[in-house]
A and B are shown apart, each in its own frame.
Chain A
Amino acid sequence: MTETTGFRWFRRLTLGFLAAFTLLPLYVLVTTSVKPLEDVRGLFTWVPERVTLAPYVDMWSTIPLARFLANSLVVTVSATALALAVAILAAYPLARLRFRGERVFAMTVLSTQMFPGILFLLPLFLLYVRTEDLLGVELTGTYHGLILTYLTFALPFSIWMLASHFSAIPEGLEEAAMIDGTGRLGALVRVVLPVARPGIVAVGVFAFVTAWGEVLFASVLTDDRTRTLSIGLKLYTSQVDTRWNELLAASLTVSLPVLVAFLLVQRHLVSGLSAGAVR
């Protein structure tokens, strides 16, 4: 593409500004996490005078970080796996089969995605409390209450994305498998899923990232035993003197897995998102 000098300057200025804006908090995050606590107090220094990895060691004993991490892992992995299974089953008929009520179902799924969590929070809490009283199944303060919630919240987006991935697969592949005597479900498992795997992985990562970062329901549905990272990290600030270096070290540590996963699948995620939004 032919570029004028004006365009080059526009590009330099825009990208320079945006890179600085994006990098500033990331730079602060990384450098502060390797400063000793004395250097974190007082006026902020751009270049760390002393570098130490002690915060990455001490952060585990200041608060029960390992337990929060384990809780987050249990809840997020379970919710993601279940959401994928349920969403794959629901997305396939939306993409391929015709059935009465299809449109109603699709519209319900799409519209619930748009409602803020705050609308469900209180009634869901009350339903969980009532279920506990009636059936004796503990749902508040437990893993499965949170898993059930996160699983359902991941569904609309996952179903929508997967349906658009499935629609993009040539139908001939399944027809061929079915002529060979495989049923619809067999064709889904043996033909569609392998072909759609990048999309499925991307949707899984998205569900994982969303559940990993969820705050609102975690604040109400967890207790001391089941607290997840999103709420648990706050404990660093309730100390007499906030250990910012440990807090930021812990923040960076728990972000890395989701960050790496997200960046690895970003291409598929983008094509899936834009299949729905842009096309």
Chain B
Amino acid sequence: MSTGPDRPARPARPAGAAPPPGPGAAPPPPARPPAARRGAERRRRSLLPYGMVAPAALLELLIHIIPMALGIYIAFTSLTQLTIRRWTTAPFVGWENFAEGLDPGGALGAALYQSLWRTVVYTVCVVGLSWALGMAAAVALNSRFRGRGLLRTLFLVPYALPVYVTAIVWTFMVNQRDGVVNRLLVADLGLLEERPFWLIGENAFWVLVVVSVWRLWPFAFLMLLAALQSVPDEVYEAAAIDGASNWKRFTAVTLPVVRPANGVVLLVMGLWTFNEFDLPYLLFGETSPESARLVSPLVYEHSFVNWNFGLGAAMSALLLVALVAASALYIRAVLPRRRA
């Protein structure tokens, strides 16, 4: 195990001070030489961390790791609603599910890759827009003016609202032809001639993007504002005295300042968005319209609507491989910093 060279050594205990008694451990017999006593103490101490992480490790194992391994096994079985109660006896079918579900030539495979591509486009749109809005708001709110605290609090509301409430309100806003969005776009602003149906066809995709951005951008805003506030005002003042324009200040001072934060923020938002299930499920129900069928709802559909668990599991396995690669990147980005 690497402890990191930058970790300060624990200060030596003053001579004569009693060693800290471990939980339920008897004090060491005084006849023992000091060296052995220290050894016993170290052993006792070295067991303590394991006891403390044990509950968390056990839960992670039972609820995360074993299910994940089981998921991979299921991908190689033919599991349907008939065999679900007795899934341990479901027939082993080798790579059949993968051949059926991941073959780009087949109908199911083609739908999967189309859905993956759509999910990538969705992720780029949502993360890009959320980052841009978050960045703009962070820059605007990083100066002092009246109403700043109020706006900051307001911007947090979409992030704190339960996702099903967000979905319910937006459904109400778009689902009737006479709904809020049509009222606004057609009757009030005159941007559209006809009142469109929003939850079907191509429109469904854009509704999903807008609602996702509404929910996600405050996260970008929070993180980027925190990064900006670590820069003293004097830096900007110096840049202003040097005659730098606003845009120049943004590119020369602001962007470099938020760069370390950006990496993590973009990656985290990207993974969240790529995995999105709740919003499409809540907005469209168990079967999303073609244009908005993201990959997580697709896997759900195969498993719990069409009851083809093996196929769903095979698609999950593909997703798992992609995400392991992504989270390896994530850990590299996050872990070393926390240790530093």
Contact = CB atoms under 8 A, between A and B. Distances in A.
Given A14-B136, A44-B176, A107-B335, 12 more contacts: A15-B137, A26-B157, A43-B187, A44-B180, A184-B20, A209-B160, A212-B162, A213-B164, A233-B164, A251-B164, A263-B156, A270-B226
Contacts of A130: 87-88
Contacts of B162: 209, 212-213, 229-230, 254-255, 258
A32 B50 contact: no
Given A126-B70, A278-B260, A116 B172 contact: no
A277 B136 contact: no
Nearest to A72: B162
B48 A18 contact: no
A266 interface: yes
A22 interface: yes
Contacts of B184: 24
B172 A28 contact: yes
Contacts of B160: 209, 258-259, 262-263
A247 interface: yes
B218 to A, nearest CB: 8
B45 A86 contact: no
B53 interface: yes
Interface string B150-174: 0101111110111111101110110
B179 A155 contact: no
Interface of A: 1-4, 6-7, 10-11, 14-15, 18-19, 21-26, 28-29, 32, 42-44, 46, 86-87, 89-90, 92-94, 97-103, 105-112, 114-124, 126-127, 129-130, 133, 148-149, 151-153, 155, 159-160, 163-164, 167, 171, 175, 178-179, 181-185, 187, 209, 212-213, 215-216, 219-220, 229-230, 233, 244, 247-248, 251-252, 254-255, 258-259, 262-263, 266, 270-271, 273-274, 276-279
17 contacts: A3-B143, A11-B140, A21-B214, A22-B158, A24-B173, A24-B184, A25-B166, A44-B176, A86-B56, A90-B52, A107-B331, A108-B60, A116-B275, A118-B300, A127-B66, A259-B157, A263-B160
Contacts of A126: 70, 74, 84, 87
Contact of B282 (A15, A46, A98, A215): A215
Contact of A100 (B1, B155, B178): B1
A182 B60 CA distance: 31
Interface string B297-340: 00110011000010011001001100110111011001101100
B125 interface: no
A184 B278 CA distance: 42
A31 to B, nearest CB: 10
A111 B139 CA distance: 32
Nearest to B286: A219
A221 B340 CA distance: 41
Contact of A112 (B60, B71, B164): B60
Given A15-B137, A19-B151, A181-B18, A155 B60 contact: yes
Nearest to A115: B323
Nearest to A3: B143
B200 interface: no
Interface stretch (B99-107, B110-118, B261-269): B261-269
Given A44-B179, A254-B165, A278-B261, A110 B330 contact: yes
Chain A CB within 10 Å — which of B63, B71, B74, B331 has the most?
A: B63
Nearest to A153: B63
Contacts of A215: 163-164, 277-278, 281-282
A147 B45 CA distance: 32
Nearest to B299: A118
B84 A129 contact: yes
Contact of A90 (B1, B10, B56): B56
Nearest to A111: B327
B5 interface: no
A140 to B, nearest CB: 11
